[in-house]
Structure 1
Amino acid sequence: MIQLSIQNLTKRYKTGDGVSGINIDVGKGELVTLLGPSGCGKTTVLRSIGGFLEPDSGDILIEGKSVLKLPPEKRPTAMVFQGYNLWPHMNVYNNLAFGLKIRKKSKSEIDEAIRRVLDLVRLPGSEKKYPGQLSGGQQQRIAVARAFLLEPAVLLLDEPFSALDAKLRHEMREELRDIQASTGLTMVFVTHDQEEALSISDRIIVMNAGNIEQMATPQEIYDHPKTLFVAQFIGKMNFIQGKAEGSHVHVKQLRYANTEQLQGDVTVAVRPEDIAISKPDEGMRATIHQIMILGHYAEVSLETECGNLKAFLPRDSVKDMYPGQFVGITFSKVLTYKSA
């Protein structure tokens, strides 16, 4: 069942920035992430859904009804911003109760709803605390709890964890995924952090310069980036110039199947984990420049006739390697794109 439908949405600013012809359907209970660099249009889409921006054209339907004419407070949406937006002079209870009082809920209903939502965000018993007495992560949880209390048909999250440190960000992502699984809420999440998008989304929508480049599952986007932009944006990648002729793509003496049926100059993309190191007379010749141990794996920098490449290898496999060593390299998997 489609919970949110964005149809042909266009919003352009005087600067020329904005979005054009955006079409997105979000299923009930789905967590969809809008991902892309600053200025790509992801926040424009989110704010248009929430009613904080008026589109130039197109329509936005929630549960089958157009919400374009409704102001933000009348829409069945709730927004969690980057800043926590909590009232510092009100304790947690009053911050959470505010929206429910406007909806004319009884005191017993409000008490029960707040108790339930504080359990959900793992902050039970914090009703009497003030925002200033909470850590950044706890404040963000309260902001998420407040949005939940409005029981939105669609929850909108605008880079909600970007102000938190790496460890907390990681915890909050897990927390959000748990909450989403237990509530079945439909969420649209905006981030420029690809790791965040890959870790929490059911589907990712990669945006660039106001357009959608690819819309797919995290696995699909990582394994099969549809465009050169997505390949450059998602995960680490090596880019090498190659030549496509007939049924093969040639990278120096290496040869791969021309699955994309391209001809002429191509850009070959190789993930660092898809580079295998062998004896100097096997594959393409390379010189080890540097070896860095990064936890359970090693990053090996290689100098080749195609330029500098990076390989990720199991930590145990590099113990006999050293800078200056001659090796051979092959690629277990390549992606090819028309050269820009």
Structure 2
Amino acid sequence: MTTQLSVQQLTKRYKTGDGVTGISLDVGKGELITLLGPSGCGKTTVLRSIGGFLEPDSGDILIEGRSVLKLPPEKRPTSMVFQAYNLWPHMTVYDNLAFGLKIRKQGKAEIRKAITEVLELVRLPNSENKYPSELSGGQQQRVALARSLLLKPAVLLLDEPFSALDAKLRHEMREELREIQADSGLTMVFVTHDQEEALSLSDRIVVMNHGHIEQIASPQVIYDSPQSLYVAQFIGKMNFLKGVVDGGRVRVDHMEFTAAGKLSGDVTLAVRPEDVTFVSDREEGLSGVVKQVMILGHYAEVTVDLKTHGVIRAFQPRQSVDELYSGKVLNVNFSKTMAFQSM
């Protein structure tokens, strides 16, 4: 895959001590990559540095093989979609979209054709004469996205563009963005703190923590094989139990589990809720008491108090929990586990 964007040893530190250090990242042509992490982890700093809105302390940023470090935002082959729509309220949709193209001295016929095509792409045909106040939040965000797409950037930057929308609309916009990205073949860098958004949208996810990269991988690999306890805690729901490495195995009470990597002493055993199983024999499981059974559509979430290890969650097929109730004693085992050195 051809590298469209290359971030090389990027460092940007603020007086507060926040920022990023030594960030290196290559993004392939046509790839959608997501920078994921909590507030203050540095993801927006990286995005704004790529867009030219921040000047790094050191490092380089190359787009299509050329350094853009000395170029202002308007001269870079990038375009950014912000959380705020930033549409001019006194202008129609057409005029909002045409503004950037007029600055680029494109002809009227060319502008009209481009706007008609991009409004079809973002599922807003025949809305040229509407004003922003006549559009819903989701429609306004589509117009903001269309405005960036019209500039035909080499890299499209998206800074938490759906966070102001309600949950249902966010879900719809994610699906539409993925379709638009597939149709257009655009290279996109997306910033979010929403793990579900990252998992559903991305070709690869960059998990960030305190100004550095913890892991870069596909959503499947990030979910199934987190490289650190931080990533395991941040991505998806996870149960954690205290264990001890003994003879190359992780021991939790009388149970033993596989230990991968160089682990010793106290460790944390991580188990996804879908990998928790209920067994009849106490020798084959850890004893617990059911606290709650919640039916969540096609599956049920069962919370179990393991006494010495606290409460864990199990995802079970809905039809398999008919005989479970609060206070029932049962035994749990795990079909798949991960172990990390305790911090």
Tell me the distance in 1 between the aligned counterparts of 2:187 and 2:267: 40
Among 327, 330, 333, the alignment partner of 2:333 is: 330
Partner of 1:23: 24
Tell me the distance in 1 between the aligned counterparts of 2:170 and 2:8: 32
Partner of 1:311: 314
Residue 179 of structure 2 aligns with an amino acid whose one-letter code is D
* Pairing 1:278-317 to 2, within 5 Å after superposition: 278-279=279-280, 281=282, 282-304=284-306, 305-317=308-320
Tell me the distance in 2 between the aligned counterparts of 1:23 and 1:261: 26
Tell me the distance in 2 between the aligned counterparts of 1:178 and 1:261: 42
- Give deviations 1:95-153, integer Å, cap 9, x for gaps: 00000000000000000000000000010000000000000000000000000000000
State which drifts further: 29-38 or 300-309.
300-309
Unaligned runs of 5+ residues in structure 1 are none
Moved over 2 A (4+): none
Tell me the distance in 1 between the aligned counterparts of 2:158 and 2:226: 25
Residue 305 of structure 2 aligns with an amino acid whose one-letter code is E
* Pairing 1:97-116 to 2, within 5 Å after superposition: 97-116=98-117
What percent identity do the matched residue pairs reach?
69
Tell me if structure 2 keeps the 8 A contact 1:246–1:258. no
DSSP 3-state at the match of 2:222: helix
- The alpha carbon displacement at 1:45 in A equals 0.2
Tell me if structure 1 keeps the 8 A contact 2:88–2:96. yes
Tell me the distance in 2 between the aligned counterparts of 1:181 and 1:119: 15
Unaligned runs of 5+ residues in structure 2 are none
- The alpha carbon displacement at 1:261 in A equals 3.2
Partner of 1:156: 157
DSSP 3-state at the match of 1:47: helix
- Give deviations 1:228-264, integer Å, cap 9, x for gaps: 1100000001111001122211111111122223111
Tell me the distance in 2 between the aligned counterparts of 1:307 and 1:117: 53
Tell me the distance in 1 between the aligned counterparts of 2:241 and 2:261: 16
DSSP 3-state at the match of 1:139: helix
- The alpha carbon displacement at 1:14 in A equals 0.2
Tell me the distance in 1 between the aligned counterparts of 2:279 and 2:334: 11
Partner of 2:96: 95
DSSP 3-state at the match of 2:130: coil
TM-score in terms of structure 1 length: 0.99
Tell me the distance in 2 between the aligned counterparts of 1:229 and 1:283: 27
Tell me the distance in 2 between the aligned counterparts of 1:268 and 1:135: 46
State which drifts further: 270-279 or 24-33.
270-279
Residue 278 of structure 2 aligns with an amino acid whose one-letter code is I
Tell me the distance in 2 between the aligned counterparts of 1:260 and 1:325: 37
TM-score in terms of structure 2 length: 0.98
DSSP 3-state at the match of 1:214: strand
Tell me if structure 2 keeps the 8 A contact 1:246–1:263. no
Tell me if structure 2 keeps the 8 A contact 1:280–1:326. no
DSSP 3-state at the match of 1:26: strand
* Pairing 1:45-64 to 2, within 5 Å after superposition: 45-64=46-65
DSSP 3-state at the match of 2:33: strand
Tell me the distance in 1 between the aligned counterparts of 2:251 and 2:285: 12
Tell me the distance in 1 between the aligned counterparts of 2:301 and 2:286: 18
Tell me the distance in 2 between the aligned counterparts of 1:332 and 1:26: 35
Tell me if structure 2 keeps the 8 A contact 1:19–1:44. yes
- The alignment of Structure 1 onto Structure 2 pairs a total of residues equal to 340
- The alpha carbon displacement at 1:325 in A equals 0.8
Residue 341 of structure 2 aligns with an amino acid whose one-letter code is K
- The alpha carbon displacement at 1:320 in A equals 1.0
Tell me the distance in 2 between the aligned counterparts of 1:335 and 1:260: 10
Residue 51 of structure 1 aligns with an amino acid whose one-letter code is G
- Give deviations 1:271-324, integer Å, cap 9, x for gaps: 111100121534111111111111111111111131111111111110111111
Partner of 1:77: 78
RMSD: 0.7
Tell me the distance in 2 between the aligned counterparts of 1:261 and 1:326: 36
Tell me if structure 1 keeps the 8 A contact 2:258–2:337. no
Residue 191 of structure 1 aligns with an amino acid whose one-letter code is T
- The alpha carbon displacement at 1:21 in A equals 0.1
Tell me the distance in 2 between the aligned counterparts of 1:217 and 1:226: 13
Tell me if structure 1 keeps the 8 A contact 2:243–2:269. yes
Tell me the distance in 1 between the aligned counterparts of 2:215 and 2:130: 44
DSSP 3-state at the match of 1:111: helix
Partner of 2:127: 126
